[in-house]
């Protein structure tokens, strides 16, 4: 029984009870070696006789074999993989080596794991135990964490046992401390009831409440009773295990060494390797009787990870080499494991082992297991005698380390490869790689300079490579709001003699169009951008990056419906194909389009999901933009606290990486909040400050110019500069709604009353197309206020009512309240009650789910699209139905507003 863990046991019991009620829960149990993590996981299993149980284990020597730990967790239930949606089944089968890999998206496997756990929990609640999670291979850890974040209503409990090396990625944690003296004394009494006197007291003291120390130290030779300086606990435990192992017969010690090197504990492999060493199976029996290992079926497990570590440390070098060679010969059907054993058996350069590791790295790369691929390339380089092969493998290791976020290692590999690879390859590859590392380290300006220099170095020999570097430099500069850097990169691009066959033409045109916007203005740039939108929307489905660019340029031209349609088509395909890592950037375009189309609740759902994806996929650079957009919507709704919180988070991301897009939204959001609440001076100060910084080069600056003009007009200030800028963009865009906003701005600044009224009437007429309801309502409110103040109350009420209806539909609360107050002042007493529609009662995720359900999708189809289990979808529908006053999916289909 567990001693002194009552509160920790209660935490586990709560999760188990929730699972029996259909809810899921996750807990990362953390603590030092021997503190009781494994015991608490065992307690959970004892308390769950009515549940299915999966056992997983991180194994130190398998930490570089992609999906090794996931295979160990799921190998007993692989027959259920066929029940998953086909793309998920294929992704999981490819990851586990059961079929060729069909995707390199590292997160699609996590979706498949989530679906498989939900499938298993459909039979009965499921307990998933993953011990020694700090030794999980990174591919398995990523997949399991992704699934854990999305568990909700499946009836699954997932428990991780881990030391400090495991990143919980914001999953709930339970930290185990040492036992108090009373509980420690009880554990020691259970383990050694005859132990008394000073030795007993010393063990309690030196164990520091560590249960494993309390169990193991009494099994060593008798400890001296005199005082001495305490040894570090891990060393004391190692010595304790060394004493126990040393008392075993030599054959049993040899068998333990074999078991320590057979990563997955396969008893058939262990016994076969022992036979080649002349060790009989009875030796394993002696090891089992000692309590150091446990054997169940065809699997051997060490009683504690420290047992395995001590066995390895006590074995001799020549024995380990011999065992590795034998295992490499036995594991021909497991090429990844075989490759590592070949490498471990090598005592010098060994091209056979190096090639095996390189092939393993390529397999890992194809499955998105970058960290595993990096380790294999690194070891392959160490075993390479040929200098060029060594350099090429080090360069590959650097690429995978960069992809895996291990930036310091990547830099070390680049330095080691310098001088080993041919000059041509070095000049084209090193600058791009160094720039990616600098960008990821939060130094995008350095990345930009590296790309410019790299392009100059290779332009004479490789125009295409130089062009791609300059395109990337232009993108960096644009993202940083660095107008000078963008213009410089574009000028160099224009000077390059690039041809269509160089395959950088579209990207080159995109960079030139962006630069032209700064150099010559929208009249010159927007026609190029519209051509890119047309070309990008016709691109085949697999070229998502080009369609992402096309949707971005549609935003620049003001064609928000086209931007939404292009991005939505690409996003739907990414969801179907499991290309999860590309979704975050698509969500930026989708949410932006939805904001400008007046679909604020949809935009909230899109940006919220995008923010979650940035966290789950390790792409924090996108988070600032999502937070900025959510801050803007909070400003529209008058939620000052939420707006301030999100804007501050977006500012923080800008401070970390210098990417301006999110900052532009955040600054606009805070100004819009001020404007909506009548703080015109504060709004003007914020917008003028934004225009003095890097935000002035972002497309948001075009669209907040009307807000700046309104704030200035309210204060009796001039705003001719912002008006000219907006007029130039509007004329180039050629869109009715943009022309309407232009006339509204002119009316606000026009001193001649008759002409101002003419401008307002023109604006109202142009808004009749309904393209931008938010802007139409803003125009109606401003014009209605002017008419009321001029005592044209009847005419004012027409416009103020139109504004109120739209603001209420958009849930723009402070704006609706202003329109309501103005209507009262205009003599309209028959006002619709303030309130919210069904949109505002749903959470962002509920809205996504009910929309798909209204379109006729099944729970399983909805789950596959949103990366949720079908049970979680059902749970959200159950919560949403009462909010919408419906009782069936058929009634959902009758709600017109759900169709967007």
Model confidence at 124: pLDDT above 80:
yes
Model confidence at 222: pLDDT above 90:
no
pLDDT at 26: 97
pLDDT band at 713 (very low <50, low <70, confident <90, very high): very high
**pLDDT tens, residue by residue, 643-662:** 999 999 999 998 888 889 99
More confident residue, 494 or 899: 494
**pLDDT tens, residue by residue, 56-97:** 999 888 888 899 999 999 999 999 998 888 888 888 998 888
pLDDT band at 454 (very low <50, low <70, confident <90, very high): confident
Model confidence at 506: pLDDT above 80:
no
More confident residue, 101 or 248: 248
* Fold adopted by 250-423: 1.25.40
Model confidence at 734: pLDDT above 80:
yes
Label residue 150 exposed, middle or buried (CB < 10 Å: 0-12, 13-18, 19+).
buried
Q: Which residue has the tokens 């709600």?
A: 895
What would the mean pLDDT of 300-328 be, rounded to a whole number?
89
Asked if 878 and 853 count as a contact pair (C-beta separation under 8 A), the reply is no
Sign of the dihedral through C-alpha 357, 359, 364, 365:
positive
C-alpha–C-alpha distance, residues 435 and 472, integer Å: 9
**pLDDT tens, residue by residue, 258-295:** 999 998 888 999 999 999 999 998 899 998 998 889 99
pLDDT at 845: 87
pLDDT at 899: 47
What would the mean pLDDT of 627-640 be, rounded to a whole number?
96
pLDDT at 503: 56
With b for 16 or more beta-carbon neighbours within 10 A and e for fewer, the 356-387 pattern comes to: bbbebbebbbbbbbbbbbbbbbbbbbbbbeee
Q: Number of C-alpha atoms within 13 angstroms, CB side, residue 884?
A: 28
Range with the poorest average pLDDT among 507-516, 660-669, 808-817: 507-516
Q: What CATH number labels 841-899?
A: 1.10.10.10
With b for 16 or more beta-carbon neighbours within 10 A and e for fewer, the 278-312 pattern comes to: ebeeebbebbbebebbebeeeebbbbbbbbbbbbe
pLDDT band at 249 (very low <50, low <70, confident <90, very high): very high
pLDDT band at 897 (very low <50, low <70, confident <90, very high): low
Coil, strand, or helix at residue 475?
Answer: helix
Model confidence at 103: pLDDT above 70:
no
* Fold adopted by 6-175: Rossmann fold (3.40.50)
Name the β-bridge partners of 161.
29
Model confidence at 578: pLDDT above 80:
no
Range with the poorest average pLDDT among 380-389, 513-522, 825-834: 825-834
More confident residue, 473 or 41: 41
Q: What is the mean pLDDT of the chain?
A: 88
pLDDT band at 15 (very low <50, low <70, confident <90, very high): very high
Model confidence at 318: pLDDT above 70:
yes
pLDDT at 7: 94
What would the mean pLDDT of 42-59 be, rounded to a whole number?
95
**pLDDT tens, residue by residue, 163-188:** 988 989 889 999 999 998 899 888 88
Q: What phi and psi, each to the nearest 5 degrees, are found at residue 543?
A: -95, 65
Q: Which of 817, 727, 832, 736 is nearest to 781 (CA)?
A: 817
**pLDDT tens, residue by residue, 779-809:** 999 999 999 999 999 999 999 999 999 999 8
More confident residue, 828 or 781: 781
| Share of residues in the chain with pLDDT > 90 (%) | 52
Length of the chain: 900
Query: What's the alpha-carbon Rg for the chain, to the nearest Å?
Result: 32
Report the 10 Å Cβ neighbour count for 448.
26
C-alpha–C-alpha distance, residues 513 and 359, integer Å: 42
Question: Domain coordinates of the chain in residue numbers?
Answer: 6-175, 181-230, 250-423, 445-570, 841-899
Model confidence at 582: pLDDT above 50:
yes
């Amino acid at each position: 029984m567990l001693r002194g863990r009552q509160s920790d046991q209660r935490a586990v019991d709560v999760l188990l009870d929730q699972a029996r009620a259909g809810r899921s829960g996750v807990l990362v149990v953390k603590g030092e070696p021997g503190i009781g993590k494994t015991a608490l996981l065992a307690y959970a299993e004892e308390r769950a006789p009515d549940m299915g149980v999966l056992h997983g284990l991180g194994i130190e020597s398998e930490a570089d074999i992609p999906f090794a730990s996931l295979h160990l967790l799921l190998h007993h239930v692989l027959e259920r993989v066929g029940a998953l949606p086909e793309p998920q089944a294929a992704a999981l089968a490819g990851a586990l080596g059961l079929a060729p890999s069909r995707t390199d998206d590292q997160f699609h496997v996590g979706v498949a794991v989530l679906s498989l756990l939900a499938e298993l929990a459909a039979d009965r609640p499921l307990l998933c135990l993953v011990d020694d999670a700090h030794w999980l291979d990174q591919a398995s850890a990523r997949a399991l964490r992704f699934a854990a974040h999305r568990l909700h209503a499946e009836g699954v409990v997932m428990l991780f046992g881990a030391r400090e090396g495991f990143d919980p990625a914001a999953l709930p944690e339970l930290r185990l401390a040492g036992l108090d003296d009373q509980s420690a004394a009880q554990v020691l009494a259970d383990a050694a009831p005859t132990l008394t006197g000073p030795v007993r007291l010393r063990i309690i003291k030196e164990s520091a409440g560590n249960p494993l120390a309390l169990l193991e130290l009494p099994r060593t030779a008798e400890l001296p009773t005199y005082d001495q300086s305490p040894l570090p606990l891990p060393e004391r435990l190692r010595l304790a295990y060394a004493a126990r192992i040393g008392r075993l017969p030599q054959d049993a010690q040899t068998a333990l060494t074999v078991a320590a090197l057979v990563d997955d504990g396969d008893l058939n492999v262990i016994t076969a390797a022992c036979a080649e060493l002349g060790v009989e199976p009875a030796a394993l029996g002696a090891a089992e009787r000692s309590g150091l290992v446990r054997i169940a079926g065809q699997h051997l497990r060490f009683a504690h990870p420290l047992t395995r570590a001590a066995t390895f440390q006590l074995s001799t070098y020549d024995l380990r080499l011999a065992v590795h060679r034998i295992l490499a010969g036995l594991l021909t059907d497991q090429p990844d494991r075989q490759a590592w054993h070949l490498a471990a058996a090598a005592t010098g350069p060994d091209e056979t082992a190096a090639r095996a590791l390189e092939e393993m790295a390529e397999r890992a790369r194809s499955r998105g297991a970058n960290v595993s691929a990096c380790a294999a390339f690194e070891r392959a380089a160490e075993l390479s005698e040929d200098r060029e092969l060594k350099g090429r493998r080090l360069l590959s290791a650097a690429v995978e380390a960069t992809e895996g976020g291990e930036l310091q290692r990547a830099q070390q590999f680049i330095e080691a490869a310098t001088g080993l690879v041919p000059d041509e390859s070095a000049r084209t590859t090193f600058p791009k790689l160094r720039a990616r590392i600098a960008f990821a380290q939060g130094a995008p300006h350095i990345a930009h300079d590296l790309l410019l220099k790299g392009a100059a170095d290779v332009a004479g020999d490789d125009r295409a490579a130089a062009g791609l570097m300059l395109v990337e430099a232009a993108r960096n500069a644009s993202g940083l709001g660095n107008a000078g850097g963008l213009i410089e990169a574009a000028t160099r691009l224009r000077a390059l003699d690039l041809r269509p066959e160089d395959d950088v033409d579209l990207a080159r045109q995109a960079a030139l169009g962006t630069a032209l916007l700064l150099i010559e203005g929208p009249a010159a740039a927007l026609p190029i951008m519209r051509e890119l939108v047309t070309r990008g929307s016709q691109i085949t489905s697999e070229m998502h990056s080009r369609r992402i660019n096309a949707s971005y340029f549609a935003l620049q031209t003001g064609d928000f419906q086209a931007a939404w349609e292009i991005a939505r088509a690409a996003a739907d395909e990414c969801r179907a194909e499991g290309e999860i890592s590309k979704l975050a950037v698509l969500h930026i375009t989708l949410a932006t389009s939805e904001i400008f189309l007046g679909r604020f609740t949809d935009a909230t759902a899109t940006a919220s999901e995008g923010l979650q994806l940035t966290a789950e996929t390790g792409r924090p650079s996108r988070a600032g933009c999502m937070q900025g957009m959510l801050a803007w919507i909070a400003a529209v709704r008058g939620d000052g606290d939420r707006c301030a919180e999100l804007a501050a988070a977006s500012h923080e991301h800008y401070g970390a990486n210098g990417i301006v897009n999110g900052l532009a939204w955040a600054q606009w959001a805070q100004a819009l909040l001020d404007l909506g609440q009548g703080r015109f001076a504060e709004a003007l100060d914020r917008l003028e400050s934004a225009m003095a910084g890097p935000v002035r080069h972002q497309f948001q600056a075009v669209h907040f110019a009307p807000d700046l003009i309104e704030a200035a007009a309210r204060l009796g200030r001039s705003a001719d500069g912002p008006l000219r800028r907006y007029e130039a963009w509007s004329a180039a865009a050629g869109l009715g709604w943009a022309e309407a906003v232009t006339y509204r701005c002119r009316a606000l600044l026009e001193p001649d009353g008759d002409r101002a009224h003419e401008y307002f009437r023109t604006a109202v007429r142009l808004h009749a197309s309904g393209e931008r309801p938010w802007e139409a309502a803003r125009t109606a409110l401003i014009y209605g206020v002017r008419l009321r103040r001029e005592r044209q109350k009847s005419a004012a009420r027409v416009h103020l009512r139109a504004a109120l209806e739209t603001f209420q539909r958009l849930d723009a609360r402070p704006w609706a309240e202003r329109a309501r107050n103005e209507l009262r002042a205009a003599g309209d007493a028959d006002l619709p009650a303030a309130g919210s529609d069904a949109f505002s009662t749903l959470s962002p995720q509920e809205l996504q789910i009910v929309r798909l359900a209204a379109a006729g999708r099944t729970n399983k189809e909805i789950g596959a699209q949103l990366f949720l289990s079908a049970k979680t979808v059902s749970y959200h529908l159950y919560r949403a139905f009462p909010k919408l006053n419906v009782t069936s999916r058929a009634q959902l289909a009758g709600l017109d507003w759900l169709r967007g």
